[in-house]
């Protein structure tokens, strides 16, 4: 049943978007240039050496971060990716995920700190995060496309927006969860708020913040496939192609590569978060 009134929300959004693209064109161009060059640089770094060299490096990182089991697992997993002929796509996607994650973390941690220190900031940021996280991810792609044109950049931007929320939330949660008495002790001995943040709140909130970073990475990976729709390429590109050709085989091969990347990134970042606390209590 159609109501007898119509809110022209869609029109407003389009008008707003038009205004944005015309007035902030220079800004978008700058963002695009920065993101493209960062992505190209990282992609080159991952693609230029032979695949086995990269695998050795990744396995070494996994070993160092967690242990020999993850190291071996990583080597096997990446060999599987090579085996299903998804190496190039996987490296594309990895570059996209890394760039998006770095930007998302750089934005979300300060936002989380701000939200933790001010109840008002928290009250404003929370609904915005809810909006960003629950809005169907593909919806971001349209304005991103308009603003940044087809290619890898709208994919990165949409990924950043979609994956930022847990970074902010976990940072706020982590800092608010720091033992109040320890923070109070900082104040009681006459330390300044910025020093208390650096010396007490951030170190103590680190495991929680790292869990947030881990979540950011996971969400970025899940966006990789969707980013494929706007020509971001990588594993997403193959998944979208397999969908349009109804090619289950290709879809599965690209899919398994996503899963392997996800497990590698998750385990490595998770152990970064817990290592600090483990070392402390073992020593």
Partner 1 sequence: MYESTDKVTPETQIIPPDSGPQRTENDIALSVSNVYKVFGKRPAEVIKRLKAGKKRDELTALGTAAVIDASFEVKKGEIFVVMGLSGSGKSTLIRTLNGLWAPTEGSVVVGGTDISKISDKELRRVRQQKISMVFQHFALMPHRTVLENAAYALEVQGVAKADRLARAEKVLNLVGLEGWGAKYPSELSGGMQQRVGLARALSAETDILLMDEAFSALDPLIRREMQEQLVLLQSELEKTIIFITHDLNEAMFLGDRIAVMRDGEIVQIGTPDEILTSPANDYVAAFVQDVDRTRVLTAGGVMEPALAVVNLSGGPRNALRTMRDLQVSAAFVVDRRRNYLGTVRDRDVMKQVEAHSSDLNSVIRKSIEPVSPETALNDLFGRAVESPIPLPVVNDAGRLVGALPRVTLLAALGNVPSTTGEFPVVDTAVAPIPKQMVTDALAKTEGDA
CB nearer to partner 1: give 26 or 190: 190
Q: Is 40 in the site for partner 1 (CB under 8 A)?
A: no
Cα–Cα dist 102/191, whole Å? 31
Cα–Cα dist 44/39, whole Å? 8
Query: What mask of x and - would describe binding to partner 1 in positions 20 to 39, judged by CB under 8 A?
Result: --------------------
- φ, ψ (nearest 5 deg) of residue 149: 65, 165
Handedness of CA 138, 140, 144, 146 (dihedral sign): positive
Cα–Cα dist 84/81, whole Å? 5
Q: In the window 174-213, what residues touch partner 1 (CB under 8 A)? A: 179, 181-182, 184-192, 195, 199-200, 203-204
Q: Is 128 in the site for partner 1 (CB under 8 A)?
A: no
Q: Is 120 in the site for partner 1 (CB under 8 A)?
A: no
Q: Is 118 in the site for partner 1 (CB under 8 A)?
A: no
Nearest distance from residue 167's CB to partner 1, in Å?
A: 22
Please write down the HEC assignment for all residues of 7-42.
CCHHHHHHHHHHHHHHHCHHHHHHHHHHHHHHHHHH
Instruction: Please work out the total of residues on this chain that contact partner 1, with binding judged by CB under 8 A.
Output: 21
Q: Is 240 in the site for partner 1 (CB under 8 A)?
A: no
- Give me the residues that bind partner 1 (CB under 8 A), please: 179, 181-182, 184-192, 195, 199-200, 203-204, 276, 280-281, 283
């Amino acid at each position: 049943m159609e109501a007898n009134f119509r809110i022209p929300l869609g029109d407003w959004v389009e008008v707003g978007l038009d205004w944005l693209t015309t007035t902030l064109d220079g800004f978008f161009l700058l963002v695009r240039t920065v993101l493209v060059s960062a992505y190209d640089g990282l992609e080159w770094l991952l693609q230029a050496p032979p695949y086995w060299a990269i695998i050795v490096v990744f396995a070494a990182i996994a070993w160092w971060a967690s242990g020999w089991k993850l190291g071996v697992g990583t080597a096997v997993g990446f060999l599987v990716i090579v085996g299903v002929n998804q190496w190039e796509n996987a490296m594309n996607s990895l570059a996209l995920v890394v760039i998006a994650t770095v930007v998302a973390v750089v934005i979300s941690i300060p936002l989380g700190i701000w939200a933790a220190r001010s109840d008002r900031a928290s009250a404003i940021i929370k609904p915005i995060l809810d909006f960003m996280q629950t809005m169907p991810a593909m919806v971001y792609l349209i304005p991103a496309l308009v603003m940044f044109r087809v290619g890898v950049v709208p994919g990165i931007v949409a990924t950043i927006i979609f994956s930022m929320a847990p970074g902010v939330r976990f940072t706020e949660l982590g800092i608010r969860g720091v033992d109040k008495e320890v923070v109070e002790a900082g104040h009681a001995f006459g330390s300044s708020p910025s020093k208390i943040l650096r010396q007490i709140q951030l170190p103590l909130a680190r495991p929680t913040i790292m869990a947030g970073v881990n979540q950011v990475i996971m969400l970025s990976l899940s966006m990789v496939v969707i980013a494929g729709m706007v020509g971001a390429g990588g594993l997403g590109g193959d998944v979208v192609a397999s969908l349009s050709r109804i090619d289950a085989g290709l879809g599965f091969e690209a899919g398994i590569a996503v899963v392997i990347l996800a497990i590698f990134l998750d385990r490595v970042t998770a152990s970064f978060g817990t290592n600090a606390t483990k070392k402390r209590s073992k020593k």
